[in-house]
Amino acid sequence: MNTFGYFLVLIAPCIIFVMNVLWFSKILKGLKKTMAKRHAE
């Protein structure tokens, strides 16, 4: 296994995990905003 392949195997899951967390937090924030709007009306 060359260094680049090893690097990809180690780093790719971390990057995917971080992106998923950011995406998930964005959705949660959006949901909170819509819930707050509905609650205010």
* Three-state SS sequence of 17-41: HHHHHHHHHHHHHHHHHHHHHHHHC
Distance in angstroms (rounded) separating the CA atoms of residues 35 and 14 = 31
Q: What is the pTM of this model?
A: 0.58
What are the domain boundaries of the chain? 14-41
Q: What pLDDT does 1 receive?
A: 63
The type of residue at 6 is Y
Structure tokens that stand for 3 in this block: 């260094």
Burial of 25 (0-12, 13-18, 19+ CB in 10 A): exposed
pLDDT at 35 over 70: yes
CA 9 vs. chain centroid, Å, equals 19
**Average pLDDT score over residue span 2-18:** 92
